Amino acid sequence: MMRFLVSVFFVVVLSTRSLMAQEDPVWVQVEAQPSLTAAQERIRDYATQLQDVNGFALGGGWYAVALGPYQRGDAEQVLRVLRAEGKIPRDSYIAFSSNFRRQFWPIGVDTLASPALARPSAPDNSPAITDTASPAPVIVAESDETPREARQSEALLSREERMELQSMLKWAGFYNSAIDGAFGRGTRSSMAAWQQANGYDATGILTTRQRAALYKQYTAVLDGLDLRLVQDHDAGIEMKLPTGVVAFDKYEAPFAHYAATGDIPAKVLLISQTGNQATLFGLYDIMQTLAIVPAAGPRERGRNDFMLIGQGADFVSHTQATLQDGQIKGFTLVWPAGDEERRTRLLSEMQASFARTGGVLSAAAGNNEDQSIDLVAGLEIRKPRLTRSGFYSDANGTVVTTTQAVTGCSRITLDTDIEAQVLSTDEALGIAILRPTATLAPISVATLQLSAPRLQSDVAVAGYSYGGVLGAPTLTFGTLADLRGLGGEEQLKRLTLNALPGDAGGPVFDAGGNVLGMLLPRPDGTQKLPDDVSFALDSGSIGQVLTRLGLSANATDQLGQMDPEDVSTMAGGMTVLVGCWD
C-alpha cells in the first residue's frame, strides 16, 4: 500500500511540474554533521536508499546532507513522503541554495552553479506488490587511498577537524599530548599505533576511510541517541540534542522543555531570559531548589556564569548558564545515573555545539495551564520525603520533635533550608532532640508546664499540618481528656483533638500558653482509634531528656490564662517545620 501511495504522489508531482517552472530550486536538508568525514559517511548511508543525495559545506566546520534540487512543490511532497516512510529525520526541512557553500558530494559536481532539477522516478504501473521489503543495496567496492592521496585529503581538514581527530585518538588511548591541531611526531605515532591495532598499514597518515572508522568507534557510545543540531528560534539557542531520546515538549519561561520520548528517562532544558547579574544569581539559587538538581554535587558561580551538578541516586544533572549582552542562556541535561561514559560524551557534544542565536525566550512564554505551588516554570520543586513539626526549647535553637521526623533521613532541615543534626533520640518515648548547624535566634521558646491542668480544660497544638504549604504553623484546638494514656501510661496525656500527621512533634499548649507536652504521631497497628483521639508526651519527660543532654529549658508550675490570639503569636515564633530528606 505504501508503494502505491508513493507512486500516486510522484504522478501528482510530475503533473504539476510545468506550472512551477519559474520557481527557484530548493533542497530538502536532511541533517548536518560537524566534520567532513562524518558527513561523507552519512551520505553513503543515505545513497543506498535515496536518489539525489548531495553534500555541501555550511561554514563554521559544519557539512549538510541534502536531497535535490527540486521545485518547491516537489520538495514539500518529497519531505512529506520520506518523513512518513521514516527514511529521513522528522526535523528535515526545506533549504535554499543560498544556505550552502562548496559542494563536496557527488565528487566533482557543482550543482549550485547550474542546478538541474531532480525528477522523482516515473510511477511503476505494474500491480502493487504486498511485500514491502526494500531490495538489498548494491555495495560498490571502494579502494582505499594511497599515502599521498591520504595526505591530500588530510590537507583539506580545518584546524577544528584536526583537533577533533586528535581528541578521538586520545579517547582511543593512542594519543596523550596537547589538542592543538598540529600533526607532529606525537600525532603521527599515535595514528600509526591506531592503524596497527586496527589491522591497517602503519603509515602514520589516516586515509578518509580510516578517519571514518575512527569516528565510528568514537561515536559508537552515542548510537541510538540520534544526535542532531537543533535550532530553537524562540529560545535563541542552537545546539546538538539527543533527538532519539528527547523531543520538544513546551515553553515555560525561562525554559524550553525537551522531555523523554522513550525508555531513557532523560530531560533537556534550554535556558533563555533577559536579565543582569542579579537575575543570574537568582536563577542560580532557584535551580538549586528544583527536584532535577539533587543537593549533592559541585557548584560554581562566577561573575557572569554558573555551573551546577546534581548527583542523585537515580540521575545526574548538569546545568550551565552565562550572562552576555543582557541575556542569560544555557542548558540543563538530566541523564540516568550509572551511564557515565555516554553521559559525559553526550554532554561534551552539547557543550561544544552550544551557540547563541538571535532572540530570547519571552517572559510570558507558556500557558501555565498546570499551575501549582510545587512547580517553578513547569519543574517540580525539590521537597523533603517527610515533614513533621517541632519547637524550640532554648535560645540556642535546640529543637524538640518526634523520632518519626528523623528516621531514615540522609539530611534534616529546619524551616526548609537550615541544616540540623540529631543530638539524641529516645525510641521508647518517641522524642528526638535536634541542633541546627547554624546559629539561630528563635523569636520565642517553650516554657514547660510542670503542673497538671484540670481535665476537660482547653488545649491547642501548633503544627505544620500541611507540610509547610501555608508557610506558617496552624493552631488546632481541643481539650485535655486524661492525664494518662489508654493503658495507664504516666508519660502520656490523652487529648480530644483532630490533629493531622504534619502536626506530630509540635507543642501542645495549655490555656496559659505553656507547653504541657509534644504531640505524638497516631499509633500504627490494626486497632483504629477515633479521629479525635490524640496523645502527647508530657512535659516532665521532655525536661528529663533535655537534662540528660546537659540542656536546660524554661519551666513553670503556675496555671494561667492567655488570649488565644497571643497563644497563636507565640506559637508562630516557637514552632518549626522539620524536613526529612532522602
Mean pLDDT across the chain, nearest whole number?
Answer: 84
Phi, psi of 368 (to 5 degrees): 55, 35
Burial tier of 18 (Cβ tally within 10 Å: 0-12, 13-18, 19+) = exposed
- What pLDDT does 52 receive? 87
- Is pTM beyond 0.85? Reply is no
Phi, psi of 392 (to 5 degrees): -75, 135
10 close to 4: Cβ distance less than 8 angstroms: no
Banded pLDDT at 565 (limits 50, 70, 90): confident
Query: 87-90, long-range: CB within 8 Å, 24+ apart, which pairs?
Result: 87/49, 87/50, 88/28, 88/30, 88/50, 89/30, 89/31, 89/226, 89/228, 89/243, 90/243
Q: Sort residue 342 into left (φ over 0), alpha (ψ -120 to 50) or beta.
A: alpha
CATH number for 147-222: choose from 1.10.101, 3.40.1350, 1.25.40, 1.10.287.
Answer: 1.10.101
- Report which of residues 333 and 219 the model is more confident about: 333
Q: Which residues pair with 12 in a beta bridge?
A: none
Q: Hey, which bits of 408-532 come out as E strands?
A: 411-414, 418-426, 431-436, 447-449, 458-463, 474-482, 492-496, 507-509, 515-519
CATH number of the domain at 386-581, please?
Answer: 2.40.10.120
pLDDT tens column, 398-426: 999 999 999 999 889 998 788 999 999 99
- Report which of residues 434 and 441 the model is more confident about: 434
Report DSSP state, residue 302.
Answer: -
C-alpha closest to that of 495 among 474, 509, 514: 509
Mapped onto helix, strand or coil, the DSSP state of residue 229 is strand
- What pLDDT does 346 receive? 93
Mean pLDDT of 241-262: 91
Q: Among 11-25, 421-435, 456-470, name the most confident range.
A: 421-435
- What pLDDT does 114 receive? 65
pLDDT tens column, 317-374: 999 999 999 999 999 999 999 999 899 989 988 998 999 998 898 887 765 555 444 4
Q: Which residues pair with 65 in a beta bridge?
A: 31, 55
C-alpha closest to that of 481 among 502, 500, 508, 506: 508
Kindly write down the DSSP assignment for every residue of 17-52, as one continuous string.
GGGGTTSPPEEEEEEEESSHHHHHHHHHHHHTT-SS
User: What does the alpha-carbon distance between residue 120 and residue 123 come to, in Å, rounded to a whole number?
Assistant: 9
Report whether pLDDT(79) > 60.
Answer: yes
Report whether pLDDT(6) > 70.
Answer: no
Banded pLDDT at 143 (limits 50, 70, 90): low
Domain assignments of the chain as residue spans, ordered by start: 2-105, 147-222, 227-380, 386-581
Mean pLDDT of 379-384: 70
pLDDT tens column, 174-209: 999 889 889 988 999 999 999 999 999 999 999 988
Mean pLDDT of 568-577: 92
CATH number of the domain at 227-380, please?
Answer: 3.40.1000.10
Lowest-confidence region among 117-126, 127-136, 160-169, 434-443: 127-136
Mean pLDDT of 100-119: 74
- Report which of residues 132 and 419 the model is more confident about: 419
H or E segment and range at residue 159: helix 159-171
